[in-house]
Amino acid sequence: MARAIVFHRHGGLEVLQIEEIDIPEPGFREVRIRVKALGLNRAETLIRTGAYIETPTLPARLGLEASGIIDAVGAGVGGFSPGDAVSVIPPISMTTYPTHGEFAVLPANHIVKNPANLGWTEAAALWMPYLTAYGALVDLAQLKPDEPIVITAASSSVGIAAIQIARKIGAVPVALTRTSAKRKALLDVGAEYVVATAEEPLSQRLRQIAGRKSIRVIFDAVGGPMVIALSDAMSEGGILIEYGGLDPLPTPFPMLSALSKTLTLRGYLVHELIRDSSRLERAKAFIVDGLAFGALAPTIARNFAFAEIVEAYRYLESNDQVGKVVVTL
């Protein structure tokens, strides 16, 4: 038997339980890992509350990120052996392949051997944020050197990954955060500019920062009414990439800006990159190269023990963190 995070009904943090379950066996082209660390994501909060793109059958498990040691391989698996230190490419379905437990079974093509310079916590914080940011900025928007890139929710793990990837390309990361409390932390992780959206006139400040350079790309995890101000600051032919909906208020469609500037408003999921093996391999090569040369480095906001899983999610949902919240086993 092994411990795992389980919820029997949708709701708040009180529905999360640590339960004993049978240790899962790997099937064809699957591997089983003994988990050493878990990365936490907003998607897990959404699935727990019944607001995610995937609807689980209850009782359900969750989790998209992990690092650990392979302890069993299924038939048809090549290139991996028991004892390998690995981390997880986020599964398409977290209810089919949940990671939050002492053991996790994943498809072998969603497993990556850990770079030698990464510990368990950093490895567990790697693939979801960096693949998400790479897929949007490099694969989709084809971000160019010297151009500004506006990043909302910039203190999140994906936001920090986007800042670092923009720096690696030679672009100019403009970090958006609610208040100036996180300004220094965001400058320290590589932001060129920080805008406090609750303290400054947003579209005016963005146009001032851009100057003669146009704001072609915005990477937005928030949505809500702020989309109007963001689109107002964009240049002709710009692309506004929406990958989250942190603001519970409705998101209006910026009709006048979209028409007058021929803007593209694009919904984005990291799954579209993960499902395409050639695009995924390019992304992995870019990320591993960035790790090797120090351009990319996961930022750990705080580390919790497995028994503190509820406290870990409470901290994630407080929005106080800068970087990834990790749980170690």
| CA distances (Å), origin 133, targets 143, 162, 201, 215 | 11, 5, 26, 17
Query: Both tokens of residue 91?
Result: 């599964």
Q: Taking phi first (over 0 means left), then psi (-120 to 50 degrees means alpha), and beta for anything else, what does residue 285 get? A: alpha
How many H-runs (helices) and E-runs (strands) does the chain carry? 11, 16
> Low-confidence residues of the chain, pLDDT below 70?
none
Q: What confidence score (pLDDT) does residue 212 get?
A: 74
The predicted pLDDT at position 296 comes to 96
Predicted pLDDT of residue 126: 96
Backbone φ and ψ of 85, nearest 5°? -85, 120
Looking at residue 195, what DSSP letter applies?
E
Residues in the chain: 329
Q: What is the identity of the amino acid at 257?
A: S
What does the buried/exposed string (b/e) look like for 43-54 if buried means 16 or more CB atoms within 10 Å of the residue's CB? Answer: bbbbbbeeebee
CB count within 10 Å of CB 192 equals: 17
DSSP label at 283? H
Strand partners, 20: 3
What domains can be seen in the chain, in order of their start residue?
2-126+298-328 (3.90.180.10), 129-271 (3.40.50.720)
Please give the single-letter amino acid code of residue 14.
E
Q: What is the pLDDT of residue 116?
A: 82
